[in-house]
Amino acid sequence: MPVRNLSYATAFAALSGFAVLWVAQRVLDIGTDYRYFAAYWSLFFASAGIIDGLTHETTRSVASDRAAGTANPWRAAGLIAALVAAASLALGVVLMGRVVPTAPLAATGILVFGLVSYVFQAALSGVLSGAGLWSQYAALVALDSGIRLAIAIAAWALGWQLWAFLALTVIGAVSWTVILGCSPRARGSIGLALDTHPFEFYRRVGSAMVASGASAAMITGFPVAASAAFPSGDGTTVAAVINAVILTRAPVLVPLQRFQSALVVRFVEKRERIYAALTAPLGAVLALGAVGFVAAWVIGPVILRFAFSPDLFVPGLTLGALTFASAFMGALMITGVAVLSTERHGVYVAGWVVATVVAFVLLFALPYGVVTNVCAALYAGPLAGAAVHAIGLRR
């Protein structure tokens, strides 16, 4: 039942993401505010993806069942939150004038608040997953998405504009306060000792965050990179491709991101048979990608014409190719989790860094235009990174 609850929560999270984007393109101007919102959405979740390294390492440490250390994830979260506040403020000063040029100061303040809160959400997610408190973790996932969706609907009904969509992007990061307030078992779990001492835990979290940062750049930060790679291109065309990338990734990557903690536990328990443990998740994500390719090719254009602005239309073959590319990204995520679960932190980082470098070089260097460059980057990058992980596992 707990795992079933997590499945429901992840499905709800994926559908909520679709719904928020659909509402946003109905409310906001496509060439300006919607493009700014999509880039801001990408920036926040890419930054949050870096912080997810804390979740992954906390999950692994709690699930290892070797609570012999003195490190505490909640105290670590406090230190990391202070560092994140400074880093996100600097990021806003440097970058926000390009991402949200109409309201850079407000957007920066919202970003700092959201990322600091997300640090504690990431720590709680890791503890709940590692301790097997899947019902509480599922509630956290569902609440995060539900708050965001509720505000999007309110913004549509009340005529709120860009500022509301910037706020709803980060507001789900306060969900940890509700879970701690409502669940005694969740409150009791935050004092769990980990399997190592503070310095070693920080070192491992740092490695995991570097790799998570590379994965976030590839997964949620890619739309920002695509916008930057074609700054002089037609705004509507770039917005359409960014929208297609986000939409085609959601069916595969949103559920998989939420299940990463469960995969960490699976691979920790089966680390002696790691290749056998990899077979089912890899087969499932590639099969889902293949089904998604056909579905996106056949019915994707119909959905875009029916539900989205004509300015956001993308042909079916492009939608199918982007959907199958998300399965390659999912395979890279799975191999990365397997490497991390076997405590090969260096290989974990190397695989994601290689994937990111390959993808971004192709995105910025190829001369073929936004669609071809994006597709080439999203296939070649994950393949290169997964190869690094596979070699590392063998060694």
Q: Greater confidence, 237 or 349?
A: 349
**Whole-number pLDDT of residue 60:** 80
| Predicted pLDDT of residue 160 | 87
Verdict on whether the full-model pTM lies above 0.85: no
Q: What does the pLDDT average to over 273-277?
A: 81
Q: pLDDT at residue 129 above 90?
A: no
Percent of the chain at pLDDT exceeding 90: 25
pLDDT in the model for residue 124 = 93
Interval 206-230 mean pLDDT: 76
Q: Residue 29 — pLDDT band, cuts 50, 70, 90?
A: confident
pLDDT digits (tens, 9 = 90+) for 46-99: 888 889 888 888 888 887 755 566 677 888 889 999 999 999 999 888 888 878
pLDDT at 26: 85
Q: What is the pLDDT of residue 197?
A: 79
Mean pLDDT of the chain: 84
Determine the average pLDDT of the residues in 263-278.
79
- Tens digit of pLDDT for each residue in 326-364? 899 989 988 988 887 777 878 888 898 899 899 999 988
Token digits of residue 70: 């003195």
Report pLDDT for 233.
58
